[in-house]
A = this chain, B = another copy of it.
Amino acid sequence: MTKIGIVGYGNLAKGVECAIAQNDDLELAAVFTRRDPASLQIRTPNVPVLKLEAAADWKEKIDVMVLCGGSATDLPEMTPQFAKDFHVVDSFDNHSKIPVHYAAVDAAASESGHVAVISVGWDPGLFSVNRLYASAILPVGKDYTFWGKGVSQGHSDAVRRLPGVVDCRQYTIPVPEALERVRNGEDPELTTREKHTRYCYVVAEDGADKAAIEQAIKTMPGYFADYDTTVEFITMEQMKRDHSGLPHGGSVIRSGVTGLDGESRQTIEYKLTLDSNPQFTGSVLAACARAVHKMAARGEKGCKTIFDITPADLSARSREDIIAHML
């Protein structure tokens, strides 16, 4: 049995909580929050909700702490800090800053003798591990990653900050022709605009200048300027009725060749179609918490990534069982 603590209680933490409930070998021990614990009603019965500062008292009662903070400011501080006292898992997803985060977490975890798995989820995470397998097997080839159709929370937030905007849901959508060309092994060179389109459902304030909002979205540098973006104004009722979920997904495709003359085209595609991005990400974190517990029991320590986890360690089933029935 792996006793898990969750730090934070946003969408991702709730996803981890749901995943724990689906696994007989995982148990939710406690939830730690920066908010007033009395204000939180969690979904699992008979599990304490405690202040973040109380975590240190739970060192002996928690096998793995799953850190559900944000990558911008929470995890860079939180993961090295918690790695001093706990085996930890996080979903740090700022790709360009992973080496810096890795170094900080590795220093803390190596010194304290804990295992810390960072940057798990689906991208980084399952998409990364599929890029790795595919490039190891097909060294002569090209990688493509398509995201969506799905809600990009960062882009939705960026639109919400514009004057006159009450709410926004931004969908990222792969361009079907681009996906088709990659799947057909054409190895196309694709610009940002050729790979994805963006679709924004926007609720505007009464009397807002919709043309100005649309223009501000479509020209926003770093978010929309490089894409073909469609803006559709809807009512708050429509937003709540049609866009309350957080679906996402995408495909990682490796298109390569084998043979002494590169005569054989070989294509590997890994595709996710997700009704709930945070629940799926939470499920990946829960499986990784199990792996961390096993790795720690073998005496491993330091910072690890999904590249360092054997598939067997992710499974609740015994090694004998999976060799006999899943191989």
Query: What per-residue 1/0 map shows which CB atoms of A300-313 lie under 8 Å from chain B?
Result: 00000111111110
Contact A128 B276 (CB under 8 A): no
Q: Does A152 make an interface contact (CB < 8 A)?
A: no
**Given A99-B323, A323-B307, A327-B305; A315-B136 close (CB under 8 Å):** yes
Please classify how large the interface on chain A is, using the bins under 10, 10 to 19, 20 to 34, 35 or more.
Answer: 35 or more
User: Which of A14-22, A206-214, A225-233 contacts its partner?
Assistant: A14-22
**Given A98-B323, A327-B305; A264-B275 close (CB under 8 Å):** yes
Nearest CB of chain B from residue A289's CB, rounded to whole Å: 11
Stoichiometry, as copies per complex, reads: 2
Query: What per-residue 1/0 map shows which CB atoms of A264-287 lie under 8 Å from chain B?
Result: 111111111111100110111001
Q: Give Cα A261–Cα B132 distance, bound, in whole angstroms.
A: 34
Contact B135 A326 (CB under 8 A): yes
Q: Give Cα A286–Cα B217 distance, bound, in whole angstroms.
A: 49
Chain B residues closer than 8 Å to A267, beta-carbon distance: 271-274
Determine the residue in chain B with the shortest Cβ distance to A271: B269
Q: Does A238 make an interface contact (CB < 8 A)?
A: no
Which 4 A-B pairs rank lowest in CB-CB distance, beginning with the nearest? A264-B276, A264-B275, A258-B279, A307-B312
Q: Does A102 make an interface contact (CB < 8 A)?
A: yes
Of B102, B270, B311, B314, the contact of A323 (CB 8 Å cutoff): B102
Q: Does A56 make an interface contact (CB < 8 A)?
A: no
Q: Does A170 make an interface contact (CB < 8 A)?
A: no
Determine the residue in chain B with the shortest Cβ distance to A19: B258
Of B18, B124, B138, the contact of A283 (CB 8 Å cutoff): B138
Q: Does A190 make an interface contact (CB < 8 A)?
A: no
Nearest CB of chain B from residue A65's CB, rounded to whole Å: 20
Contact B275 A265 (CB under 8 A): yes
- A and B contact pairs by CB, cutoff 8 A, 20 listed: A15-B258, A18-B259, A22-B258, A43-B260, A98-B323, A99-B323, A126-B137, A132-B311, A132-B322, A132-B326, A133-B311, A135-B326, A137-B283, A183-B273, A258-B280, A264-B280, A266-B280, A269-B272, A308-B319, A309-B310
Nearest CB of chain B from residue A145's CB, rounded to whole Å: 11
Q: Give Cα A324–Cα B310 distance, bound, in whole angstroms.
A: 20
Contact B271 A275 (CB under 8 A): no
Q: Give Cα A43–Cα B259 distance, bound, in whole angstroms.
A: 11
**Given A132-B312, A327-B119; A269-B270 close (CB under 8 Å):** yes
Chain B residues closer than 8 Å to A275, beta-carbon distance: 263-266
